[in-house]
Amino acid sequence: MTETTSESLEGTRASLLAELTRDIADQRVLDAMGCVPREEFVPAEAASVAYQNRPLPIGHGQTISQPLMVALMTQALMLTGDERVLEIGTGSGYQAAVLSLLAAHVVSVERVPELAASSTERLGRLGYSNVEVHAVTDELGWPDGAPYDGIIVTAASPDVPRALLDQLAVNGRLVLPVGSRSIQELVRIVKTPEGAQRHNLGSCRFVPLLGRGAWPEPR
């Protein structure tokens, strides 16, 4: 990367962080967003626009989420630093990298084998040693590592999957988009001893979550 390109990225990163402060109150989340080099998690041809506040394609029909949505979902987990967190949908590994700076350990699962392999290499190369990535098929989550203090889902489900609630610890938080294939509501589920409490966080739009308990595989 040339010095000019590096300076340009620093400028756009600073602008993005300033924009995020309008909606994000958790300083730990803002600090993590400022530390993770987003240009490392997008294709080389998109590096110059890595800090624009919009989703970007990463191949295999998947995207890296808009930075504001990453920050909002991360903030909704209400992390303090000692949690075990499960991420559904590793993608390029960007969200996992942000989470790794805010939690004790991150387990991330990915249905696309090529993305699981590339994100594992990328996270290891960049030093995010408290993240483990697993390639999965149609089972939601990673029950072998449960219970989790937080679960974040970066794809949209028609409802809150029972399988994920079962993997959530008591007083844990589950953040995911719920709704139709075209428009969803971002929700936070808090699992209490008395049952699940739901908090609506605003409209959003994500690719569909595929697997048992979510959307069926396309024929």
One-letter amino acid for residue 52 of the chain = Q
pLDDT in tens, 2-44: 554 677 888 899 999 999 999 999 999 999 999 999 999 999 9
E strands along the chain, which residues? Answer: 56-59, 62-64, 84-88, 105-110, 131-135, 148-153, 168-179, 184-192, 195-204
Q: What is the pLDDT of residue 208?
A: 87
Q: Catalytic amino acids?
A: 65
CB 82, CB 43: distance < 8 Å: no
The burial of 34, by beta-carbon neighbours within 10 Å (0-12 exposed, 13-18 middle, 19 or more buried), is given as middle
Determine if the peptide bond prior to 147 is cis (ω within 30°).
yes
- For residues 89 and 154, the answer to whether their CB atoms sit within 8 Å is yes
The confidence score (pLDDT) of residue 139 equals 87
Sign, CA dihedral 189-145-155-179, equals negative
Which of 139, 28, 120 lies closest to 77 in space, CA to CA? 28
Tell me the average confidence (pLDDT) per consecutive run of 10 residues in the chain, 219 residues long: 66 93 97 97 94 94 93 98 97 98 98 96 98 93 97 94 96 96 94 94 89 79
β-pairing, 148-153 vs 84-88, is parallel
Contact by Cβ (8 Å): 217, 202: no
pTM: 0.93
Superfamily designation of domain 55-204: Vaccinia Virus protein VP39 (3.40.50.150)
Sign of CA dihedral 147, 149, 102, 99: positive
What pLDDT does 4 receive? 43
